[in-house]
A and B are shown apart, each in its own frame.
Chain A
Amino acid sequence: MPGGAAEAFSGEWMAPWLRARRKLEGAGYGEAVCQSYARTSIVVAFEIGPEPAIDMADTLSAITIKSGRKAAAHFCEAAPVAARKLGSAPRFRTWLSLMQRFAALAPESIVPVLSRMTALMEELNVTQLEAWLLAGVRLSGVDVEKRLAFFAFETPEAARLLDRESKGIGFFEMDRRLRAYLCALFGVHPVIREAPPGRHDGSGRRSSFGEGFVQMPGHYRGVRGPEAEMLFRAALAHIGAHMRFGQGRFVLGQLKPLQVAVVSLIEDARGEHLAMAEMPGLRRLWTAFHVAEASGALTAESRFARLSRALIDPEFKDIDGWVRKGRDLFFAARDKWDDPQISRSIGNLLGNDLGQLRIQFNAKTYAVQPLYRDDNLGLWAFPEDGAPEDRSEILLDAARMTPNEGTRPPDTTRNDPETDQNTERVRPRAPDNPEGGVMVARHVEYDYEARVERPDWVTIQAVPPRAGPSGYASEVAQRYQQLIARITALVNAARVGRPERIRKQQDGETLDLDACIEAVRDMRSGIMPDLRVYQARRRQHRDLSVSVLLDTSASTGDPVGDVGVAIIDVLRDATVVLAHAMAELRDPFSIATFHSNGRDEVRYTQIKQFDEPMGRGVTTVLAGVRPGLSTRLGAALRETGARLAQQPTHRRLILLISDGEPSDIDCPDPRYLIEDARRAVQGLASQGINVFCVQVGQRNRETEERVFGRRNIVHIASIAELPEKLSILYLRLTA
């Protein structure tokens, strides 16, 4: 018996422990597994008590069955780590059941996860671990290879999601408030994007900016909590100062990388001082990040950091001659701070001094200090002709979310182009799909198993509408001539807001004669009269905006009946007729279509904007809609909701026209997207946006009602009737 067992499993616990061991031995997992258990369960028992150590045997058994003996050995090694870190029996049990569940979900990935348990437990608690594991499973769908790569940290997503789980506050969480902050401080409205994932080498992740755009790191490595919030704010305020007080880019000319770095540094200080003159509180925000000390080795980098601090922090004293000179030059030029050229002249002087001191400067590894400053690429005009030098292209490319594998981040390549011809070339990658979607938004998605909304999970790509045959508009008008006429008549009847007379009112515009007569009669006969003798007229106003959302997944390409007409054709016709009705009613409405190809590609096409008149252009574009791909309903609803929410009307309605239930290629679990859509509908309802679904074709009552609620769905069995029914349905719905 291993040493310590008698103390670990004293008294009544010895027998069940021995029983658990015998059971493992009897199960034929091999000698090594049993010995590992005997050894590590003692450690676990010492940490958090004998009972969970005995429970551990069952989990071990389950994992061995699912994933084999190697996994079992790893599990035995990971258990004491988890026990020590979690420190209590209930939490350890949660961990056990999580491991067992994970082994069932992804048996091949349990080994990489268990072997990293020490590192994972450093970053995450059990709940966060669960969220991360499930995210990994969800991300990879049924693709075992992809799953394994994720849990072995071979895909950048793994580290990114780990960051998100562990750090809590990233750019994503603060996006909106930071945008507002920047806009308020400097009155600038650049596009602000989070840097794409995949840059996890940890080297100098900095913010970056260019004409009208800003790119922010998703997280600053090692900065957490309130400090992270401050850092994001400091970084944006700094970029705002550049945008506000900069005057065009500097010409690179023959400058060496070292000089570029010094000029940028002076320009940083210049912008900050001008901003601080208006907003003195910014000094507090920025100085907090200047931590360089006036001691230590005098490398180029440390001098830069010290000069940066000396230029902003009046308390900071540095004896180094170069730093002092920089400081004196800068403050001597105080009166000329509004001219960017002083940055250039002071920077050149200082750069030359450093050059004469023969200070080594490695532009490849240099990262601007302190952390909140940007990479300064936005300050310089790079030559247009050379490929790798065109940094703005690189940045824009990155912003377009097409990370180029194996390329260093642009912020570390701040070398002089003349001296650095061997930089890896970065080329904007042609979009994979010929129809060129542009990433416009990311939405949450709800995971019913984990009961969490995963932030930033689904990417909406805006696909520009395509024009179809131009004859379509007149064709529809002809085909449905009678129907359109009938509906127009109906609409005209519905449109006139009927004035309604309300009698017996406490106050109103006119007296209600009947009530007056009664009151006078009562008074004369000595009865207390009813004083509600007024009448009022009230008019019913239509105050409603509608978004029509068309499902254009592959199934809508199925034929209807036998005349060579597809579902999509009928949907389209019905939408045109409905649009006529809505235009007559003067309800502001928009039309959009969607289909999806996994969570990274929910393709969303806005056919008609709210303020766009309904005309031939819209019809032609509608004619260009082609069916294809899948139905990621929740994401499309959230996107539509976000656009509709900006309409200033009392009622807001999403009218979804769909032919099937949600599904997508990366979601093997049919319930997942249904639950997500349900969540999306509920979320919209809480914002005062109603979702009404018109379901055509085959029906699955249970699913539909689960997603939309029984009263918010109508089923039209015969698709051919759709054009006729849809508009009338709409009138009834909005009356």
Chain B
Amino acid sequence: MLDGYMIEAEPYYRPTGNEVDLFSAAYQARLPVMLKGPTGCGKTRFIEHMAWRLKRPLVTISCHEDMTASDLVGRFLLDPSGTVWADGPLTLAVRHGAICYLDEIVEARQDTTVVIHALTDDRRILPLEKKGELVQAHPDFQLVISYNPGYQSVLKDLKESTKQRFCALDFGYPDPSVETEIVASEAGIDSATAHTLVEIARRSRNLRGQGLNEGASTRMLISAGLLIKAGVPLGEACTVALIVPITDDPDMRDALGNVVAACG
């Protein structure tokens, strides 16, 4: 049923601590897990890696503002003979025992996210109210959510009752040496160039909350590294992959451009 959701090849992941062991332990107990951390620091890659390692299918749902409970659990559709029920991705994962990953859960409205409550305590059930069905979770099912705490924190936050149902793993940007290794390996560039990119990113992260919402992520560095590998000079690669995407503020762009010049 969920064969399409199986991950065949090992996704590259460089552990920065004992998160692999912690997650494995949580999975053994089928505890719901929350991955916290800034964007592009490797949360999604980590969960892909873990799904591969645990040999479970992974159902990923990117949450968004307009998402309703129906988008998660399913809805009635019309066909010539009347109405038919179609499972949503969450129901799919619950029935067939996948890891369900709700990416950027704060983006979803709070009244939507409460549907996961019954799944995340010892009941492990998903009530399909409209269909009048109570789905008992498959023994292999696990719920994982990701959560970016620094992100528009005033307006969007998890309900306290939601938060307290999860174990949490905190993800940050890796240490410079580890990050250099990751960038060098993922982009296929030499480690001196990767080191320069990491130095630039570290400085951009100093500007977090001082004009930037978020500094350059590891993901961005890998993009810049891939451009460099394709023959783009460092300065231009950083402009294209780091500076222009991250801000539209001309002053911040100028400052970042000069940071690149200082580090390069």
List residues of A whose CB falls within 8 A of some B CB: 176-181, 183-187, 189, 233, 237, 278-282, 284-285, 508-511, 516, 519-520, 523, 531, 533, 536, 543, 648-649
Q: Known contacts being A176-B251, A184-B256, A279-B262, is A531 close to B78, with CB within 8 Å?
A: yes
Q: Are B69 and A509 in touch, CB under 8 angstroms?
A: yes
Q: Are B252 and A177 in touch, CB under 8 angstroms?
A: yes
CA distance A324 to B36 in the complex (A): 55
Total contacting residues, chain B, CB less than 8 A: 33
Which chain A residues border B264 with CB–CB below 8 Å?
280-281
Q: Are A177 and B75 in touch, CB under 8 angstroms?
A: no
Q: Which residue among B78, B80, B211 has the maximum number of chain A CB atoms within 10 Å of its CB?
A: B78
What is the minimal beta-carbon distance from B192 to any residue of chain A, in angstroms? Answer: 11
Query: Which chain B residues numbered 96 to 134 have a C-beta less than 8 Å away from chain A?
Result: 130
CA distance A189 to B154 in the complex (A): 24
Q: Does B12 touch A at the CB level, under 8 Å?
A: no
Q: Are A183 and B261 in touch, CB under 8 angstroms?
A: no
Q: Does B255 touch A at the CB level, under 8 Å?
A: yes
Which chain B residues border A649 with CB–CB below 8 Å?
155
Q: Does B26 touch A at the CB level, under 8 Å?
A: no
Q: Are B259 and A181 in touch, CB under 8 angstroms?
A: yes
Q: Are B78 and A185 in touch, CB under 8 angstroms?
A: no
Mark contacts of B237-261 with chain A using CB atoms, 8 A cut-off: 1 yes-contact digit, 0 otherwise: 0000000000000111011101111
Q: Does B44 touch A at the CB level, under 8 Å?
A: no
Q: Are B255 and A279 in touch, CB under 8 angstroms?
A: no
Q: Known contacts being A184-B207, A279-B199, A543-B155, is A509 close to B70, with CB within 8 Å?
A: yes
Which chain A residues border B69 with CB–CB below 8 Å?
509
Which chain B residues border A176 with CB–CB below 8 Å?
211, 251
What is the minimal beta-carbon distance from A650 to any residue of chain B, in angstroms? Answer: 9
Which chain A residues border B76 with CB–CB below 8 Å?
511
Contact of B251 among A180, A519, A543 (CB under 8 A): A180
What is the minimal beta-carbon distance from B238 to any residue of chain A, in angstroms? Answer: 12
Q: Are B80 and A180 in touch, CB under 8 angstroms?
A: no
Q: Can you list 13 contacts pairing A with B, beta carbon distance less than 8 Å?
A: A177-B250, A177-B254, A180-B211, A180-B252, A180-B255, A183-B206, A184-B203, A184-B207, A281-B260, A282-B262, A516-B83, A520-B82, A531-B78
Which chain A residues border B258 with CB–CB below 8 Å?
181, 233
In the complex, residue of chain A having the shortest beta-carbon distance to the beta carbon of B264: A281
Query: Which chain B residues numbered 187 to 211 have a C-beta less than 8 Å away from chain A?
Result: 199, 203-204, 206-207, 210-211
Q: Are B68 and A648 in touch, CB under 8 angstroms?
A: no
Q: Are A519 and B70 in touch, CB under 8 angstroms?
A: no
Mark contacts of B3-30 with chain A using CB atoms, 8 A cut-off: 1 yes-contact digit, 0 otherwise: 0000000000000000000000000000
Mark contacts of B50-86 with chain A using CB atoms, 8 A cut-off: 1 yes-contact digit, 0 otherwise: 0000000000000000001110000110101011000
What is the minimal beta-carbon distance from A500 to any residue of chain B, in angstroms? Answer: 14
CA distance A632 to B256 in the complex (A): 37
CA distance A176 to B250 in the complex (A): 10
What is the minimal beta-carbon distance from A195 to any residue of chain B, in angstroms? Answer: 21
List residues of B whose CB falls within 8 A of some A CB: 68-70, 75-76, 78, 80, 82-83, 130, 152, 154-155, 199, 203-204, 206-207, 210-211, 250-252, 254-256, 258-264
What is the minimal beta-carbon distance from A507 to any residue of chain B, in angstroms? Answer: 8
Which chain B residues border A284 with CB–CB below 8 Å?
261
Contact of B204 among A184, A186, A279, A280 (CB under 8 A): A184
What is the minimal beta-carbon distance from B171 to any residue of chain A, in angstroms? Answer: 21
Which chain B residues border A278 with CB–CB below 8 Å?
199, 263
CA distance A531 to B32 in the complex (A): 38
Q: Known contacts being A177-B251, A278-B199, A279-B199, is A184 close to B259, with CB within 8 Å?
A: yes
Q: Are A511 and B255 in touch, CB under 8 angstroms?
A: no
CA distance A284 to B258 in the complex (A): 12
Which chain A residues border B206 with CB–CB below 8 Å?
183-187
Which chain B residues border A516 with CB–CB below 8 Å?
78, 83
In the complex, residue of chain B having the shortest beta-carbon distance to the beta carbon of A543: B155
Q: Are A509 and B263 in touch, CB under 8 angstroms?
A: no
What is the minimal beta-carbon distance from A735 to any residue of chain B, in angstroms? Answer: 20
Which chain A residues border B250 with CB–CB below 8 Å?
177
Q: Known contacts being A177-B254, A510-B70, is A183 close to B80, with CB within 8 Å?
A: no
CA distance A516 to B78 in the complex (A): 9
CA distance A185 to B69 in the complex (A): 45
Q: Known contacts being A183-B207, A533-B78, is A279 close to B263, with CB within 8 Å?
A: yes
What is the minimal beta-carbon distance from B115 to any residue of chain A, in angstroms? Answer: 11
Which chain B residues border A187 with CB–CB below 8 Å?
203, 206
Contacts A181-B255, A184-B204, A508-B70 known; list 4 others, CB within 8 Å. A180-B211, A181-B254, A509-B69, A516-B83
CA distance A520 to B82 in the complex (A): 8
Q: Are B254 and A281 in touch, CB under 8 angstroms?
A: no
A-B complex: 8 closest residue pairs judged by Cβ atoms: A180-B255, A177-B251, A181-B255, A187-B206, A281-B262, A509-B70, A176-B251, A177-B254
What is the minimal beta-carbon distance from A454 to any residue of chain B, in angstroms? Answer: 20
Which chain B residues border A281 with CB–CB below 8 Å?
260-264
Which chain B residues border A237 with CB–CB below 8 Å?
262
CA distance A233 to B255 in the complex (A): 9
Contact of B210 among A183, A185, A233, A543 (CB under 8 A): A183
In the complex, residue of chain A having the shortest beta-carbon distance to the beta carbon of B112: A509
What is the minimal beta-carbon distance from A463 to any residue of chain B, in angstroms? Answer: 27
CA distance A648 to B154 in the complex (A): 8
Which chain B residues border A189 with CB–CB below 8 Å?
210
In the complex, residue of chain A having the shortest beta-carbon distance to the beta carbon of B154: A648
Q: Are B255 and A177 in touch, CB under 8 angstroms?
A: yes
Q: Are B251 and A510 in touch, CB under 8 angstroms?
A: no
Q: Are A285 and B207 in touch, CB under 8 angstroms?
A: no
CA distance A180 to B256 in the complex (A): 8
Q: Known contacts being A516-B78, A648-B155, is A509 close to B262, with CB within 8 Å?
A: no
